Amino acid sequence: GSHTPLEDTAPRIVEHPTDVLASKGEPATLSCKAEGRPAPVVEWYKDGERVETDREDPRSHRTLLPGGSLFFLRILHGRRGKPDEGVYVCVARNYLGEATSRNASLEVAGE
């Protein structure tokens, strides 16, 4: 039986991140799920800057989950720095193109 080869497709975001109100020191997740063929590579940007995860820096408190979501082991937030607060966007890429999710803001509660 002959079957048609599956055509490569540009990425599309099937699950967009939503705004998160996180607690300092607690875990949080920004969801993102993308489809495409070949499977797209997902990157996160916060306020326009690329977010480093433990793939680049093993000491990072941010992990890129297999599906593309961004997981924070614990939200870092102090008087001097608010490294996790901001507007996030998820970008999925393969050789055919890229797709950008909607913006999602992460706010830290209770300061």
pLDDT tens track, the chain, 111 positions: 677 778 999 999 999 999 999 999 999 999 999 999 999 999 999 999 999 999 889 999 999 999 999 999 999 998 888 999 999 999 999 999 999 999 999 999 976
Name the one residue in this structure whose structure tokens are 């540009």: 10
53: left (phi over 0), alpha (psi -120 to 50) or beta: beta
Domain boundaries, the chain: 9-108
Q: Check: pTM over 0.95? Answer yes or no.
A: no
One CATH from 3.30.420.40, 1.10.3720.10, 2.40.50.140, 2.60.40.10 for 9-108 = 2.60.40.10
Looking up tokens 């300061």, which residue turns up? 111
